[in-house]
Amino acid sequence: MELLGLKLVAFLLIFVAGVAGGLLPLWLGNKSYRERMTTLGLGFTSGIFLGAGILHMLPESQDHFAELGSDVHVYAVLFVALGFMLVLFLEKVLITVDDDDVVVTAGVSAYVLIFVLSVHSVITGISMGLSSTAGQVLLLILVISLHKLFAAFAVGMSFLSAEFSRKRYVTLLLFFALMAPLGIILGSVAASRLDTSLTLRGEAIFDALAAGTFIYIATIDNMPKAFCCREDRWMNFGALCLGFGWMAMLLLAE
């Protein structure tokens, strides 16, 4: 019951974080200030994602594969790579955007962004739903909520660039905010219906996939944007180190 209650709290917090992050661009009127805060936040979350993927999710996956008697050096790392390449394929290969019309391009880019981030959200949500320990659920609440907040902010910024109507803006934002909670439901249902061995196998796989997507979002999506402005590079690197250091401290405190 305690674990189920935590997952319910996670469902609500992650949804609220997604909605709040997506509405922030409508409230922050100063474009320069908004962009500066965005790069600082992306630096911090890059460190969070790197730490969560490398220090937490990958070792968790290795432990689960070890319990199954599998060769952790093959399977855990393999699924991390697959998670990384899945998001890379979706974002850079499967969908391409022409640059002829600025508004049309911005609109297509917004849909691409929400699609890719939604896939990532479902994967991490399933990982949480399959989680069998309160500690891992609490970690994922922290990481996914922060991710949802800043990802939704980026989505909202793309909606503004595309000049979406207020109705379309809110509808797409609610859709995006529900993706990680949907993954939590799917993972929780799977965990309750599958036997222990299959649940453990699913948790091992989705932990590794989530680690790969965390590493991708940190290195390919967030870091180039976080360090695009030379004048803030030291501050943003400090924010990155702070985020990674936080994840390292959580690891040492376990």
- Please check whether residue 173 lies inside any domain of the structure: yes
Model confidence, pTM:
0.70
Do residues 49 and 183 touch, judged by C-beta distance below 8 A?
no
- Please check whether residue 59 lies inside any domain of the structure: yes
- Please check whether residue 26 lies inside any domain of the structure: no
Please write the tens of the pLDDT for every residue from 190-237. Answer: 877 777 777 788 888 888 888 888 888 888 877 887 887 777 788 889
User: pLDDT at residue 248 above 80?
Assistant: yes
Do residues 141 and 10 touch, judged by C-beta distance below 8 A?
yes
Chain position carrying tokens 């093959």: 74
CA distances to 13, 37, 129, 213 from 139, in Å:
13, 24, 13, 16
- Please check whether residue 34 lies inside any domain of the structure: no
Q: Which residues are CB-neighbours of 42 under 8 A, at least 6 positions away? A: 150, 222, 223, 225, 226, 236
- Please check whether residue 50 lies inside any domain of the structure: no
Q: Which residue, 157, 176, 164, 140, is CA-closest to 37?
A: 157
- Please check whether residue 33 lies inside any domain of the structure: no
Helix (H) or strand (E) holding 42: helix 31-51
- Please check whether residue 24 lies inside any domain of the structure: no
Q: Tell me, what's the pLDDT at 31?
A: 64
Do residues 43 and 229 touch, judged by C-beta distance below 8 A?
no
Q: Which domain holds residue 161?
A: 2-15+55-253
What does the pLDDT average to over 2-15? Answer: 82
What does the pLDDT average to over 117-127? Answer: 79
Number of domains in the chain: 1
- Please check whether residue 157 lies inside any domain of the structure: yes
Cα Rg, the chain, nearest whole Å: 18
Please write the tens of the pLDDT for every residue from 48-104. Answer: 888 888 988 888 888 888 888 766 667 889 999 998 998 888 777 776 655 444 455
Q: Give 44's pLDDT tier (boundaries 50, 70, 90).
A: confident
Q: What long-range pairs does 220-228 form, CB within 8 A, spacing at least 24? A: 220/87, 220/88, 220/91, 221/91, 222/42, 222/43, 222/45, 222/46, 222/49, 223/42, 223/43, 223/46, 225/38, 225/39, 225/42, 226/39, 226/40, 226/42, 226/43, 226/46, 227/39, 227/43, 228/39
